[in-house]
């Protein structure tokens, strides 16, 4: 939902006014960082944790290539807290628990240059990386690709066949990106 991204931006700008530029420059970890990189991938980081460097643009390009989809749509990627994702999960899916990733396709009925929004819970990603014995970088890459495949119409909850197709694609993207367990 692009409205979510807009709300996040407005909240962040008001936060920036409250804490002031000097406090952000003095080393506080809480900041809004928005980067727009080709092809129209905006990244919004709203968490206190330091995130590993990850080339989301390449992951999007590899995913689109494997799915035979043109890579020319805008994707909004947001990182948030457990509280924020639980609130979103309850509001939009009527499920009152913390989840790892949510995808909000831009289903407008008209052709727009927007694919949708992906929201990743950093706390849950850290927990899962620890539980599965791999790096946070690998978990974030997996969750981004998982969310992107949902935006592209894949859904592992429909059937076992769909789950296998989606999870195979996730593995192929991560192998192609040289991101291992």
Q: How much is the pLDDT for 108?
A: 67
CB 41 within 8 A of CB 77: yes
Q: Is the pLDDT of residue 118 over 80?
A: yes
Q: What are the φ and ψ backbone dihedral angles of 55, each rounded to 5 degrees?
A: -90, 85
Average pLDDT over residues 59-65: 90
Strand partners, 35: 43
Q: Is the pLDDT of residue 151 over 60?
A: yes
Q: 110 or 78: whose pLDDT is higher?
A: 78
**What is d(CA 80, CA 32) in angstroms, rounded to the nearest whole number?**
11
Q: Is the pLDDT of residue 148 over 90?
A: yes
**What is d(CA 37, CA 56) in angstroms, rounded to the nearest whole number?**
9
Domain annotation for the chain: domains and CATH numbers = 2-176 (3.40.390.30)
């Amino acid at each position: 939902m692009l409205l979510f991204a807009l709300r996040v931006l407005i909240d962040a700008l008001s936060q920036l006014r409250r804490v002031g530029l000097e406090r952000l420059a003095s080393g506080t970890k809480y900041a809004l960082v928005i980067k727009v990189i080709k092809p129209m991938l905006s990244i919004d980081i709203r968490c206190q944790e330091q995130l590993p460097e990850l080339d989301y643009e390449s992951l999007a390009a590899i995913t689109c290539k494997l799915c035979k989809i043109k890579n020319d749509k805008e994707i909004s990627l947001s990182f948030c807290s457990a509280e924020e994702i639980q609130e979103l999960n309850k509001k939009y899916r009527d499920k009152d628990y913390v989840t790892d990733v949510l995808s909000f396709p831009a289903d407008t009925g008209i052709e727009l240059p927007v694919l949708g929004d992906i929201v990743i819970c950093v706390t849950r990603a850290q927990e899962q990386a620890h539980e599965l014995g791999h790096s946070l970088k690998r978990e974030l890459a997996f969750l981004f690709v998982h969310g992107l495949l949902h935006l592209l119409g894949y859904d592992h909850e429909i059937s076992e066949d769909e789950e296998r197709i989606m999870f195979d694609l996730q593995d192929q993207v991560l192998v192609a990106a040289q991101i291992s367990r």
